């Protein structure tokens, strides 16, 4: 499990993450302050290696490590989807607002802008 203090820190470390895994975040915080949202990478293998007393079922009946209980985490985006958007970010320089808008567009529409 890894945590990232900002979207920029997450993007800088995407190459370390498995493309098929989920990134988790507090969605209320993401919607109100995306530049300062903390992200969690909690691979399936990590959860499977925990003891039963180290996991809980969240509100969506997903197994999560107790260490993140109370953070109101939900599945935010697949690593592969974020990586695709990040690869296109280079065309727009360091425009964080554009990047956040692209992420939100994908999260709402389940497709990338053309």
pLDDT in tens, 53-81: 999 999 889 999 999 999 999 999 999 99
The model's pLDDT over 92-101, given as tens digits with 9 standing for 90+, comes to 555 678 889 9
pTM over 0.85, yes/no: yes
Which among 29, 36, 41, 82 has a CA at the least distance from the CA of 65? 41
Instruction: Give alpha helix (H) positions in the chain.
Output: 7-12, 27-32, 44-48, 79-89, 96-109
């Amino acid at each position: 499990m890894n945590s990232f203090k900002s979207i920029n820190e997450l993007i800088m470390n995407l190459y370390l993450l498995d493309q098929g895994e989920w990134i988790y975040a507090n969605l209320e915080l993401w919607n109100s302050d995306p530049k300062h949202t903390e992200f969690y990478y909690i691979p399936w293998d990590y959860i499977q290696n925990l003891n039963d007393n180290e996991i809980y079922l969240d509100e969506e009946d997903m197994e999560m490590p107790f260490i993140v209980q109370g953070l109101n985490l939900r599945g935010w985006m697949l690593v592969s989807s974020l990586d695709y958007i990040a690869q296109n970010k280079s065309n727009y320089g360091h425009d964080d607002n554009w990047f956040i808008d692209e992420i939100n567009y994908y999260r709402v529409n389940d497709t990338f802008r053309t």
